Amino acid sequence: MKMGSKHVLQKPKLELFHIIKEATFIPVKNINFVFLTIITSFPLFCCLWYYEILLQSILSQIPRILKEPPFFYFTWPTPFDIINNLHAEFHYRLVQACLLYLVPLHLLEFISAFMSVSIASKIYKEKQMSLNEMFEKPIHKAKLRATFITSLYAHVLSTCTLLGLIWLVTTYFAIFWKSVVDVFFAVFHGAAFVALLMKYMEWSAAWKMSVVISIVEEKYGMDALVISDYFRRGSEQRGLFLMLFFSGWDFVIRVVGLYWCGIILQVCLLCLCNTMKWMASMVYFYDCKSRIFEKKVDEEMGKEIKGIDEQSSLARE
């Protein structure tokens, strides 16, 4: 009797809601994790607080920079008009915000993510830990350094993609906005921006998974990126929706913080969003990993049963 190749009943994929739910239950399982997260996120909170003040001051000046002069014609603005509207303080704040994003903010986010994912992965596997055990567990410098290299790769790739998005927006407003070919270039730049943004979200899921792999699986650098790409096969859309959810959360927090609540509450919510994002990335990784292993077992069992079927057919003949 012939049998199909699908013999293992696979668990259904965790969709976006279930991934968020699993990540939310991690601190519920062990309240000590909340205290650890608050302690390890405090340096990130301080740096993010200063960064958000700079960012808000920069964004508030953009309408003034793009403001139309009283004598403008349909070809305004030109790059020279925009440059003339810039002043030294704006340049200083912009450079300062860029340097904060590239170095200290990334380093502090990495430390927070490393500690959170290291402990959350054990809690997710149903291991009970006291607060003392969380702090007493030694941190191997070699593992920390190697994981940082993976996060550095991810940070460089992420920054380059963000620069591409900024370049698309800048070229449109600096060269083509309110020109005779405005409609054509608005459609072209808009489509290119949306396409690159979607790819950025999809790639972000892979980059974050590579850092998670470095923390829990001890695979580093390009190896972690390759493994992340392998585990995500067939689950790219879930990673895209996951990053879209947290990016939307991040955007809403910034808008609400800009108009309705203070900077302190805004930064607290951003730190919470950052921690949840890493825990959700960890749950996403474990789910993708389990599906790959189930698929391998299913294929091996299918080959074995196919061989038995062939032997039975030969014996009957």
pLDDT in tens, 13-47: 678 899 999 999 998 888 888 988 999 899 999 99
Closest to 220 in 3D by CA, of 212, 58, 17, 196: 212
The range of the structural domain enclosing residue 293 comes to: 16-309
Domain assignment of residue 317, yes or no: no
Alpha carbon distance 219, 164 (integer Å): 29
pLDDT at 177 over 70: no
And the tokens for 106?
Answer: 């990334």
Higher-confidence residue: 76 or 168? 168
Domain assignment of residue 298, yes or no: yes
Domain assignment of residue 4, yes or no: no
Q: How many domains does the chain have?
A: 1
Which residues fall within 8 angstroms of residue 123, CB to CB, at 6 or more apart? 26, 29, 30, 33, 129
pLDDT in tens, 207-233: 999 999 999 988 898 999 999 999 998
Domain assignment of residue 51, yes or no: yes
Question: Is 229 exposed, middle or buried (CB count within 10 Å of its CB: 0-12, 13-18, 19+)?
Answer: middle
Residue type, position 56, single letter: Q
pLDDT at 2 over 50: no
**pLDDT value of position 237:** 92
Domain assignment of residue 315, yes or no: no
pTM (predicted TM-score) = 0.83
Cis preceding-peptide flag for 77 (omega within 30 of 0): yes
Domain assignment of residue 314, yes or no: no
Which residues fall within 8 angstroms of residue 192, CB to CB, at 6 or more apart? 168
